[in-house]
Amino acid sequence: MKEINSSEFEAEVLNGGKVILDFYSTECPPCEALASKFENLAGVYGKDVKFIKIFRQQNRELAEKLGVKGSPTLLFFDNGKEVAGRLAGGIKRSEIIRNLDSMLPPDRVKDIKSNIKPTVSEFDVIILGAGPGGLTAGLYLCQAKINTVLIDPSLPGGHVSTTHEVSNYPGFIEPQAGYMLSHNMSEQTKLCGTIYKVAVDITSVDLDKKEVVIDEFETVRAKRIIIGTGTTPNLTGAPGEKELKGKGISYCATCDGKYMDGKEIVVIGGGNSAVEESDYLTRFASKLTIVHQFDKLTANKKAQDKILNNPKVSILFDNEPRSFTREGDKIVTEIENVKTKERQKLVSDGVFIFIGMKPNIDLFKDKLTLDKWGYIKTDEEMRTSIPGIYAVGDVISKKYRQITTAVADGTIAAMAISKEMD
């Protein structure tokens, strides 16, 4: 592995055979997350591909010339030509391997793979998920001098890192940008000394053995595991939804409703959460239109009665969204009547989608006791049905899912574990 500056670019990269080039910056958490993977892979692929790092802040001109707009960015070169596609942001080991493999003959790849030595590391506690719940548990455990590792397939922060603004987390007078709040939470836990293994592929989780395999070859074992893997909102799947998420389309009324004062809202869904959240949203909205795929609401009777008598609310039954687009400040939702196939466009200031959340438990759901919606059941100290396995945050069975409640769960689990390990 070698560090270069722009004056060496031509000799080392353009005339350098097969090269992987890492544009990195300082004070860049995804760069830190990449550094150990880059070093490790240099040990594996280093005989065939040159591993080169370049400090972006000091080589801005070259970065701009190459169109590198963020750190870290990995570029791959073969005989002076860029190949294999760039990687940026929270880069996974498997993505780098995929690109490196594409630059080498298959026989050589097989040879290299057969020489990869699996590793095993031992900790007191593994935390799965670096959202507010996991990060808080990590902080408390670390301060109690318990050897802890945080594992996440993404970069730290969970939902908060992609939330536009958070105004209900105590301790801040002004609303906080979600990415800053999650960055601060993550840095606090990391500075304490918690080990981070983030932007990794989770190969398997064995809750009985308390063993997690990441990136295929790295086994991590512990005496306890805390599951803080959160939830994923169900998507409608209509075009434009992913692009407008956080930019006009929201999945959280408590979080984003307050920005809708005097505005028009479209809500997709018709179950309990859609109806209850719609009722809440009418505190702010001047007009709210519910779009529901069936011919009647599926929420409980009390919630239905309330919403049906709310003068701000109208309901379009038998309709499903077909696309979301932005026109200036407005979001245009194209809907289709599933019976008549008639389409119409609803123009609003914001769209809220409540068609259910999915707890992230696919890797271990068969083992744990779950509630009827698939959330993990815990006792009041966050213990699950398996001894030594705890769960915190949005992934557990509970009524209110907020940053504060996830943080509280993380605190409780960590304190319970600290006490047990005394």
Ligand X SMILES: Cc1cc2nc3c(=O)[nH]c(=O)nc-3n(C[C@H](O)[C@H](O)[C@H](O)COP(=O)(O)OP(=O)(O)OC[C@H]3O[C@@H](n4cnc5c(N)ncnc54)[C@H](O)[C@@H]3O)c2cc1C
Nearest alpha carbon to residue 129 among 60, 211, 34, 197: 197
Residue among 153 and 271 whose Cβ is closer to ligand X: 153
Alpha helices in 17-105 (DSSP H): 29-45, 60-65, 93-102
Query: Applying CB under 6 A, which part among 24-32, 321-329, 348-356, 401-409 lies near ligand X?
Result: 401-409
408 binds ligand X (CB under 6 A): no
> CB neighbours of 22 closer than 8 A, spacing ≥ 6?
34, 38, 51, 52, 53, 54, 72, 73, 74
Residue among 37 and 53 whose Cβ is closer to ligand X: 37
403 binds ligand X (CB under 6 A): yes
Among 133, 240, 248, 321, binds ligand X (CB under 6 A): 133
Give the total of residues touching ligand X (CB under 6 A). 37
Give the pairing type, strands 343-348 and 330-337.
antiparallel
Query: Applying CB under 6 A, which part among 85-93, 155-163, 218-226, 370-378 lies near ligand X?
Result: 155-163
Other CB atoms within 10 A of residue 317 CB: 16
Query: Applying CB under 6 A, which part among 50-58, 158-166, 185-193, 369-377 lies near ligand X?
Result: 158-166
Residue among 36 and 310 whose Cβ is closer to ligand X: 36
Calculate Rg over the CA atoms of the chain.
24
Residue among 56 and 159 whose Cβ is closer to ligand X: 159
* Cα 273 to chain centroid, rounded: 22
List strand residue ranges (DSSP E) for 251-307, in order: 264-268, 287-291
How many helical (H) and strand (E) elements, i.e. helices and strands, does the chain have? 12, 24
146 binds ligand X (CB under 6 A): no
> CB neighbours of 186 closer than 8 A, spacing ≥ 6?
29, 130, 135, 156, 157
Among 132, 240, 350, 359, binds ligand X (CB under 6 A): 132
CA 328 to each of CA 247, 266, 343: distance values in angstroms, whole numbers, following the listed order: 12, 17, 22
Residue among 6 and 402 whose Cβ is closer to ligand X: 402
Question: What letter does residue 371 receive in the DSSP assignment?
Answer: -
Q: Which two tokens stand for residue 263?
A: 């505005």
Question: What is the full DSSP assignment across 190-204?
Answer: HHHT-EEEES--EEE
Question: What is the full DSSP assignment across 340-368?
Answer: T--EEEEEESEEEE-S-EEES-TTTTTTS
CA 337 to each of CA 88, 215, 267, 295, 296: distance values in angstroms, whole numbers, following the listed order: 41, 45, 16, 11, 14
Site string for ligand X, 205-234 (x = CB under 6 A): -----------------------xxxx-x-
Residue among 209 and 301 whose Cβ is closer to ligand X: 209
Residue among 172 and 294 whose Cβ is closer to ligand X: 172
Minimum distance of ligand X from residue 153's CB (angstroms): 5
Question: Which parts of 162-201 interact with ligand X (CB under 6 A)?
Answer: 163, 166, 168
Minimum distance of ligand X from residue 318's CB (angstroms): 28
Residue among 137 and 307 whose Cβ is closer to ligand X: 137
30 binds ligand X (CB under 6 A): no
- Say how far apart CA 162 and CA 112 lie, in whole Å: 38
Minimum distance of ligand X from residue 327's CB (angstroms): 22
Minimum distance of ligand X from residue 268's CB (angstroms): 14
360 binds ligand X (CB under 6 A): yes
Site string for ligand X, 254-293 (x = CB under 6 A): -x--------------------------------------
- Say how far apart CA 175 and CA 184 lie, in whole Å: 14
Site string for ligand X, 109-128 (x = CB under 6 A): -------------------x
Among 16, 72, 90, 134, binds ligand X (CB under 6 A): 134
Residue among 363 and 421 whose Cβ is closer to ligand X: 363
Residue among 42 and 149 whose Cβ is closer to ligand X: 149
List residues binding ligand X (CB under 6 A).
128-134, 151-154, 158-160, 163, 166, 168, 202, 228-231, 233, 250-252, 255, 360, 363, 393-395, 401-404, 406
